Amino acid sequence: MTTYFEGIAPVRYEGPETTSELAFRHYDPDRVVLGKRLEDHLRFAIAYWHSFAWPGNDPFGGQTFERPWFGDDMAAAKRKADEAFALFEIVGAPFFCFHDADVRPEGATFAQSRRNLEEMVDYFAAKMERSKTKLLWGTANLFSHRRFMAGAATNPDPDVFAYAAATVKACLDATHKLGGQNYVLWGGREGYETLLNTDLSREAEQAGRFLAMVVEYKHRIGFSGTILIEPKPQEPTKHQYDFDVATVYGFLRRFGLENEVKVNIEQGHAILAGHSFEHEIALAASLGIFGSIDMNRNDYQSGWDTDQFPNNHPEVMLAYYEILRAGGFSTGGTNFDAKLRRQSLDPVDLVAAHVGGMDACARGLLCAAALLEDGSLERARAERYAGWDRPQAQAMLRSDLAAIAARVESEGIEPQPRSGRQERLENLVNRFV
């Protein structure tokens, strides 16, 4: 029985001029750009945790949302799944994502929690047979329960490492069974509060071995999806180990996993790390580890992870520009790791938030595709480095300091600075917004 979204019709594309509140202005799933349908470019996913599990609490107050599926038994979990799939259908979501803790009640023992998850996986599987919505990724919540307060893989207590390993095995099994296209590891408590009680060397070794075991198990069960790490610099711990894309890449190299694991990059986490979203995407692409995105919008003043729905078209455009330049998503997609504000109580608020977010992304991607097709920006970039295309410049990289020094004097090399043309390029980009 689904009633929560009753009276809300499936959202349709009506074009930029429409004044109806629940219509897509830019997201026309079947529109083809750069040889692909928009739906296949964007690969939208709805995040179960924010839209169906979060009660609206903040550090100063508790639940503000009253959802008919809130409760901690299996009946509530199934009602929640019914309502979730109703929303997926209303907005036409091709994918969803979940943590174990979002979809099943916690049992009295590990085994009971695992059985609850398995029962929900079967329930999802039956629903997915009648729905177009697939699983973009699954993940384990290794950060909410107090047992994980000092970390999961990096915990000083080996029993917690064991519990976390068993949990990830169960979640990988669940993801595999539902045909998930990726599996995400976000190190929510993998970090520390104070160095006074922390052994950095041990914790890194534990994290490296843990990740290697995840990769080993993935291959053992024949899971063909991508394993993704989601970087974040802080919150909940003061120092998170997976700080940003560059840090994660160093970690992967250290443990020889750079060809096995990619990254899931979140807008808000990039901002918290002092980067732009497009920087993180471009860096991951250049390192060959770009996987997927958690799309949201961080407040630029607050300093914490605000997880708002995206609505800034020019910013979103720059992110998709880097994604398109990198060849687009393969197993990844656009997961709305975004939540309502806690005063947005109505069912229609949840629908409108996704409609606006999907539209912002579609518009951003369309503008980015036009900019890429125009080619001026890429030509300007290529021109800036054109000197390096000369054979002599390439040969220099294979020579040495002494030979280069001799050539500088013999050829009388005196570099002539050239404009970086930043404002002209910014104006060019704005023509496409």
Give the pair of three-digit tokens for residue 74.
């299996």
Q: Which residue has the tokens 């999907």?
A: 358
Alpha-helix residue ranges (DSSP H) falling in 143-291: 158-177, 200-221, 245-254, 267-272, 277-287
Q: How far apart are the first and last CA of the chain?
A: 43
Contact of 232 with 186, CB cutoff 8 Å? yes
Task: Sketch the per residue contact string, 124 through 153, with ligand XLS: x for CB under 6 A, - otherwise.
Answer: ---------------x--------------
Selecting among 26, 50, 99, 279, the annotated active-site residue is 99
DSSP string covering 42-62: H-EEEEHIIIII----BTTB-
Q: Which is nearer to ligand XLS, 303 or 387 (CB)?
A: 303
Tell which positions 289-308 bind Ni ion, by CB under 5 A: 294, 305
Nearest distance in Å: CB 1, ligand XLS: 29
Using CB under 6 A, which of 266, 278, 322, 359 touches ligand XLS?
Answer: 266
Contact of 311 with 361, CB cutoff 8 Å? no
Nearest distance in Å: CB 231, ligand XLS: 10
User: Residue 307: left if φ>0, alpha if ψ -120 to 50, beta else—which one?
Assistant: left
99 annotated active-site = yes
Nearest distance in Å: CB 216, Ni ion: 25
DSSP string covering 141-163: --SSSGGGTT-STT-SSHHHHHH
Q: Are strands 36-37 and 32-33 parallel, antiparallel or unpaired?
A: antiparallel
Q: Which is nearer to Ni ion, 49 or 320 (CB)?
A: 49
Contact of 297 with 308, CB cutoff 8 Å? yes
Tell which positions 237-276 bind Ni ion, by CB under 5 A: 266
28 sits near ligand XLS (criterion: CB under 6 A): no
275 annotated active-site = no
Using CB under 6 A, which of 337, 362, 366, 369 touches ligand XLS?
Answer: 337
Tell which positions 311-340 bind Ni ion, by CB under 5 A: 337
Considering CB distances under 5 to 8 angstroms, the limit depending on partner class, which of ligand XLS, Ni ion, none binds residue 289?
none
Residues that bind ligand XLS (CB under 6 A): 99, 139, 184, 186, 230, 232, 266, 294, 305, 337
The binding site for Ni ion (CB under 5 A) comprises 266, 294, 305, 337
Residues catalogued as catalytic:
99, 102
